[in-house]
Structures are given as C-alpha cells and as structure tokens.
RNA sequence: GAGAAUGUAGCUCAGUUGGUUAGAGCGCUGGUUUGUGGUACCAGAGGUCGCGGGUUCGAGACCCGUCUUUCUCCCCA
C-alpha cells in the first residue's frame, strides 16, 4: 500500500468501460451541437496568465492553476513583491502561463485573435478538459470536461431559445428522467438593485439572493444586512420571496415591481420573448422555470442566465450558461455579443451512473473471440479473423494456449458476444463452433457460411 | 482559503479499556472438469494497518505532523 503510486487529488483514471460510457456522453452532446449548426474548435490547455487572470473574480483567480516558469525565466521572480508580502504579484512574476479555467474566456480570446478569419455570427462548440485548484468534493474535481456551445456576434434572442432546446434535446436523449432549466436575466437583477437603490452592491445582493433555497429567507436577509445593505433596501427585497406561480405570472408580478427601472423592464421583455417562444414549441422533457434568485457568480453575464439541475439527485448544477455582451471587449474587440452554454460532463456522468441510465449497448464487449486450441488451429483462426476484420467486425484471437476453461472465463469477463471454438475435429471437417455467450447456445458452422452468419448477428 | 470526519488484503468492511501469529465476505490463483464461462464444493496466495515522527516493556488502536477521500462554509460544473 505504502509504495502504491498515486494521482493528484481531484483527478481520476478511466477504465475501458468508463471511457466507453464517457464517449457515449460526449458523442450525444456533439451530435446535438452539430444538429444546431455548431462547429468544433480546440484551444491550448494552457494560456498566458494575463489572458485568464481577473476574468473570474477574486475567487476565480485563486482557483487558477499556474504553471511555474522554468529555466532562466525563474530569474524574473519579483523578490521585492515577496519582501513586501504581495504574494499575488510575486506569484505572477513566477508564472507566466496557467491552465485554462473554463472554455468561455479562452474562446473570447480566440474570437478576437481570429476575428478576420471567422464568419459572424460564429457558432462553435468545444469539448475539452479544464482545471481548477478547488478543494475536491462529491461531483467536484480538479480536472473535468466542459462541453460548451456559444454563438458570438448576434444579439438575437433566438440564440437563447435555441440553447434551451439544446439542453432539452441532450438531456432527454441521455434519458435523464427529470430536470429543470432555470432561467433568469441579469438585467432583472440589475433592475431589482436599482429599485432598491443599491445598484453598487448588485454582486453582493445577487450572491445572497442566490442562496435562498439553501439558507432560506431568514438567512438571505441576514446576509444582506451583513453585506451592508440599507434596511429600506432589504424591505424592498422582502416581497420578492413571495413571488410564485407560473413563469408568466411571475413575469407579470416583476413587471409591476420593476416598473421604475428601465433596465429591469428590458430584462422582463427579453425573458418573456424566450419563454413565449419555448411555450409555443414545447419541450420534450425539461421544465423551464423563471427563477429570479438565479444569479451565478460569473460577473461577465449581462443578459440571460441559465442553470440546469437534475431533479431527485444530490448534485449541484449540471449545466450553466448565459449571455455576455462584452467578453471580447476585455481583449480589445468591442460591440460583439455572445451567448453560450456548458454541459458539465463529469457531473452528468455521475448522475447517470447513480441512476443507472447508460444503455447496455454502450459497454457491449468485443464481438468475436477465437479460442486457442493449438498451432494448427490458430493458423486457421488467423485467416478467419482476418476475413472478419475485412468485413468491419471486431475480433481477437486468444494469444496463448491456456486451458479452454480459462479462455472461456476471459471471454466472459470481457463481455465478449460470441466465441469461436475450432479444435482438431472442426479443423478436419472444415467447420467451427459458434457460441453465443449471453444465451449459451452454440452451433456448428461451415467456414464458408461463417462470414455471412456473423455479419447477420 | 476556514472548520470537521476518514484511511486496515484488489474491493467492501470487522478488529473490545493499548497485550501473543491482524480477521470476514467478495474477488484472485489452483483443483473437482487436460473441448466450454456466468452456479456449486475444496485448497491456496495476498497486509511493514495511508506516510513520517513521538509516548510505551508493548501501538492497527494514544499524541503530533503530513497526504488522500468525504462533509459543511466559500465558490462552482
């Protein structure tokens, strides 16, 4: 035990059947993305620190994995900053590169850098790992995959409508039994802050309101007070907790509440457009819910905000997203609106494992295994195997002359679908025994009929 | 980054107030069966008790440090 090797915390190895399930997951997501016209891109695993730092708030910066400078670059270390106890500055002088923290910010950088080669509106999807120096917990890893789709260069709300459909399509296809797409709009949150006269504290305010389902009304009010919101503001926030009913009813209540806020009314209008369009089309399995407490920490969102939760499972959100009007502005390209979503593949995997939702076909094993009887028989098996492979059938010849019992057990453990037994007798009569491993049935077949027979199975 | 729990065989876990040689089930290997797996029976292998230090005549158990995993907070997929 002591000498056993280990991998860093929050990382995982994947065994063959896990990889099979994960590929199924990625392929399902990819298929839907493609269906809606998104094209794949890839970006490097690591970026310049300056690209990532400061884009995710102070909390986010703390969680970015930084790559230590090597060789002569070490001399750039800012010892004065160290002496002055300015650790962030010291760290920056030691690490010019960092592992990507999400796919959205690198994508913004990508768009700015390749703006002349892209056609706008540009729709891309991207499935790659990201890294966070977070403390690992259930459903929380240091290395995990994000599956993002974004549209950049269009401020049409049809994009939002499309993304709601994509959430619904993917998760329905994956057979997640019940899930809720929560939607809100940053402009509504701004409107609330404005109505309360606390526009400056919008972040503190929304972060507190976001915790409603966790700490309850009382908890939220306490936190708001601690964060220094005025008592008149808190009085104005209180009625929000009472808002309930259907999405349209809630919109109606908010319309009255936000009547004095121009930005708030704009948010209502946007949200209503999306909800109406979705209502007209209907969703397969998802529940679309206007949740005015939904905030999300990333402060680059400016319009719609999405979050998806699987119901009846203990797991944080499995998807997220939203609109960001000025993300590329951070890299010098103004006036380009973007909106995007992200599937948390690792969490969806955990949910599907917990609910046993992977179809059995995903982990189906090798189609044919030829058992090994002896040198003469193996020569024939090699010829037959080659011919199967020409017909795109996966097969394998057991590599050594172990006891047949052991070879059968190997076939069983590998979940092999069919086993071919070809021994002395069969060799003489130019036949073979084909055994179906799941039913246990077996039949004698001519060499000539073998290819056709196996292709039909 | 703050607080708490956890770690014993490949896996899931027992192990009394500190006391001889640390156990079980499953899995693994071999056999019953040298041409038949998933069942049954028999036998066997496998552990410096997470790691490092300390207390003690004696530590899997107590103390300190450290790492892992898990939980709460923070934040998030």
pLDDT tens for A47-91 read: 999 999 888 877 788 889 988 888 777 787 888 877 777 777 787
* Mean pLDDT of the A102-117 span: 94
* A291 lies in the same domain as A374: no
Q: Could you tell me how many residues make up chain A?
A: 457
Closest-approach nucleotide to residue A308, Cα vs C1': B77
* A223 lies in the same domain as A137: yes
- Candidates A313, A296, A351; CA nearest to A56 is A296
The predicted pLDDT at position A297 comes to: 62
Decide if A69 is inside a domain.
no
Decide if A374 is inside a domain.
yes
Rounded to an integer, what distance in angstroms lies between the CA atom of residue A447 and that of residue A431?
Answer: 5
* A299 lies in the same domain as A404: no
Query: Which domain CATH number covers A446?
Result: 3.40.50.800
Closest-approach nucleotide to residue A425, Cα vs C1': B35
- Per the structure, the residue whose CA is closest to nucleotide B10 at C1' is A1
Contacts of A199 (CB under 8 A, 6+ apart): A190, A193
Share of chain A above pLDDT 90, in %: 54
| Cβ pair A315, A300 in contact under 8 A | no
Decide if A51 is inside a domain.
no
| Cβ pair A45, A187 in contact under 8 A | no
Summary mean pLDDT of chain A: 89
* A253 lies in the same domain as A154: yes
* A304 lies in the same domain as A392: no
Decide if A340 is inside a domain.
yes
Please report, rounded to whole angstroms, the spatial distance between the CA atom of protein residue A4 and the C1' atom of nucleotide B18. 29
Decide if A23 is inside a domain.
no
Strand B, nucleotides covered by protein (CB < 7 Å): 1-3, 8-10, 28-31, 33-38, 47-52, 67-77
* Mean pLDDT of the A201-209 span: 83
Upper half-sphere CA count for residue A344 (Cβ side, 13 Å):
22
Q: What is the DSSP letter of A314?
A: -
Q: Which of A301, A324, A354 is the last residue of a domain?
A: A354
Q: Say whether pLDDT at A279 is over 50.
A: yes
- Per the structure, the residue whose CA is closest to nucleotide B38 at C1' is A412
| Cβ pair A211, A241 in contact under 8 A | no
Q: Residue A9's pLDDT band (boundaries 50, 70, 90)?
A: confident
Q: How many other C-beta atoms are found inside a 10 Å radius of the C-beta of residue A124?
A: 21
The boundaries of the domain holding residue A347 are 30-42+101-354
| Cβ pair A58, A51 in contact under 8 A | no
* A373 lies in the same domain as A347: no
Q: Which of A297, A325, A354 is the last residue of a domain?
A: A354
Share of chain A above pLDDT 70, in %: 98
Q: What is the pTM of this model?
A: 0.88
């Amino acid at each position: 035990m002591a000498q056993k090797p280990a991998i860093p915390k929050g990382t995982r190895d994947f065994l063959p059947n896990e990889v099979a399930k994960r590929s199924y997951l990625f392929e399902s997501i990819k298929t839907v993305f493609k269906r809606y016209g998104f094209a794949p891109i890839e970006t490097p695993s690591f970026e310049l620190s300056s690209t990532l730092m400061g884009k995710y708030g102070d909390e986010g910066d703390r969680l970015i994995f930084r790559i230590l400078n090597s060789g002569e670059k070490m001399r750039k270390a800012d010892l004065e900053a160290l002496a002055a106890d300015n650790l962030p500055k010291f760290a920056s002088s030691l690490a010019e590169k960092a592992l990507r923290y999400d796919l959205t910010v690198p994508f913004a950088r990508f768009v700015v850098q390749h703006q002349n080669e892209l056609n706008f509106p540009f729709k891309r999807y991207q499935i790659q790992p990201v890294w966070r120096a977070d403390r690992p917990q259930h459903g929380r890893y240091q290395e995990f995959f994000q599956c993002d789709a974004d549209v950049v260069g269009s401020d049409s709300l049809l994009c939002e409508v499309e993304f709601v459909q994509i959430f619904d399509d993917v998760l329905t296809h994956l057979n997640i039994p019940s899930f809720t797409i929560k939607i809100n709009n940053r402009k509504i949150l701004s409107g609330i802050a404005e109505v309360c006269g606390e526009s400056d504290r919008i972040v503190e305010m929304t972060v507190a309101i976001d915790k409603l389902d966790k700490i309850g009304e009382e908890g939220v009010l306490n936190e708001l007070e601690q964060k220094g919101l005025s008592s008149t503001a808190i009085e104005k926030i209180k009625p929000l907790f009472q808002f309930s009913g259907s999405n349209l009813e809630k919109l109606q209540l908010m319309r009255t509440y936000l009547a004095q806020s121009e930005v708030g009314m704009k948010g209502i209008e946007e949200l209503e457009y999306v909800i109406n369009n979705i209502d007209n089309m209907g969703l397969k399995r998802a529940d679309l819910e206007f949740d005015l407490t939904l905030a999300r920490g990333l402060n680059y969102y400016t319009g719609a905000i999405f979050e998806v939760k699987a119901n009846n499972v203990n797991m944080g959100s499995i998807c997220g997203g939203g609109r960001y009007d000025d993300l590329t502005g951070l890299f010098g390209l103004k006036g380009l609106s973007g909106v995007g979503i992200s599937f948390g593949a690792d969490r969806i995997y955990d949910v599907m494992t917990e609910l046993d939702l992977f179809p059995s076909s995903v982990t189906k094993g090798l189609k044919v295994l030829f058992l090994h009887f002896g040198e003469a028989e193996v020569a024939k098996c090699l010829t037959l195997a080659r011919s199967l492979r020409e017909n795109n059938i996966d097969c394998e010849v057991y590599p050594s002359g172990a006891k047949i019992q052991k070879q059968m057990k190997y076939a069983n453990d590998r979940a092999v679908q069919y086993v071919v037994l070809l021994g002395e007798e069969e060799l003489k009569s130019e036949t073979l025994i084909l055994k179906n491993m799941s039913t246990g049935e077996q039949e004698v077949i001519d060499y000539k009929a073998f290819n056709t027979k196996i292709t039909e199975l």
